[in-house]
Amino acid sequence: MSLHTPAPLSPSDADTRVRWADPQRQLQFQQWLAGLPVALGLQPETLRAASADASFRRYLRIDGTPGSLVIMDAPPDKEDCKPFVQVDQLMQQAGLRVPEVLAWEQTHGFLLLTDLGAQTLLQAMDLTAEPPLAQYLEAVDMLIQWQLASRPEVLPPYDTALLRRELNLFPQWYIAQHRKVTLDDKQSKVLEEAFGRIIESNLSWPSVYVHRDFMPRNLMVSAQGMGVLDFQDAVYGPITYDIASLMRDAFLSWDESFCLDVTIRYWQKARKAGLPVGDDFGAFYQGVEWMGLQRHLKIAGIFARLTLRDGKPQYLEDTPRFIHYIRSTCSRYMALKPLLRLVETIEGIEVPTAFAFGRF
């Protein structure tokens, strides 16, 4: 699944020591490291943790020549490195700044990568100041560059089966496991009908390359320009997805006016570049909202699973943001009002009854 977002460790993080749960894997790693080219000038004593990860892979940093490098530790029985390497090559071909694969030990799942730095766009932003429009527009330009490189039948399709599998994480993990709610037949029908409408809306948009977690937490800033990480789950799917991911972030929220401003600018640039975003911005924005709704239902399920199955409770701290996104979108569309009422029931939210007069 997506949302395997690495969170780079800052210099203030107290403990960056590298620990190994499996002595055999530690030995395999040491043997691989010792066999890398001497010209890299690697200094094993400088090995330290580079990120905290939501998946089974982790990232380490090591000093070498001429500077630091990053090692991906991805046990092959839990993580497949092939998609990472494939998408990395596609992004390089598109002209994006991504890590270069210097060495890949496929049997045990170790990769040596160039280092894009330790500061994400999220870390670089002053969240108490005005929204960083210039940096978001740089991200928009990078997104368009990635989408323009799209070709069918290169990446896995973001199809009905995958969309439904993702949406089902919400009732499976968030509703049943986290909220401990058992849906009755009527509620299950509401959820099923809503999922059907969401999938139909999302698949009505043309397909391009989709990063799936294109957000400030995965965008790296440095003097060399903005780079992108965490792209191994890329697919070929709705053009509405990545701009929804960027503006409806899993880890921070902006005022609707800023989200609208950046989305309009993206749509204008994408349309000028010949990308299939349509001629009606209103229709496109609705598509982005419905895509964002799918994403946040999925994320709520993933974060509940990370807490309950994987013992990582910090992810559910952002639950109020997801529920706010879900309720805000559902409240704007009549077809989603039954889903809105269901979510409010699950959350124990009591909404005052209001009487309105006028046309229906």
Please indicate, yes or no, whether the overall pTM of this predicted structure exceeds 0.85: yes
Does domain 7-114 correspond to CATH entry 2.30.30.40?
Answer: no
Long-range residue pairs from 78-87, CB within 8 A, at least 24 positions apart, any chain: 79/55, 79/109, 81/106, 81/109, 81/111, 81/232, 83/232, 83/233, 83/234, 84/111, 84/231, 84/232, 85/111, 86/155, 87/155, 87/231, 87/232, 87/234
The answer to whether 111 and 74 have CB atoms below 8 angstroms apart is: yes
The answer to whether 292 and 253 have CB atoms below 8 angstroms apart is: no
Q: Where in the chain is the domain with CATH 3.30.200.20?
A: 7-114
The pair of structure tokens assigned to 157 is 């399709």
The closest of 83, 91, 203 to 143, measured between CA atoms, is: 91
The closest of 218, 221, 285, 205 to 246, measured between CA atoms, is: 218
Cα–Cα–Cα angle for 63, 68, 72, rounded to 5 degrees: 95
What type of residue is 148?
L
Q: Where in the chain is the domain with CATH 3.90.1200.10?
A: 121-347
The pair of structure tokens assigned to 29 is 């790693």
Q: Rounded to an integer, what distance in angstroms lies between the CA atom of residue 332 and that of residue 338?
A: 12
The closest of 250, 243, 209, 222 to 54, measured between CA atoms, is: 250
User: Which CATH superfamily, name and number, covers 121-347?
Assistant: Aminoglycoside phosphotransferase (APH), C-terminal lobe (3.90.1200.10)
User: What is the full per-residue pLDDT of the chain (360 aa) written as tens digits?
Assistant: 334 444 454 444 445 788 898 999 999 999 999 999 999 999 999 999 987 655 688 999 999 988 999 999 999 999 999 999 999 999 999 999 999 999 999 999 999 999 999 899 999 998 888 999 999 999 999 999 999 999 999 999 999 999 999 999 999 999 999 999 999 999 999 999 999 999 999 999 999 999 999 999 999 998 889 999 999 999 999 999 999 999 998 888 899 999 999 999 999 999 999 999 999 999 999 999 999 999 999 999 999 999 999 888 888 888 889 999 999 999 999 999 999 999 999 999 987 655 444 433
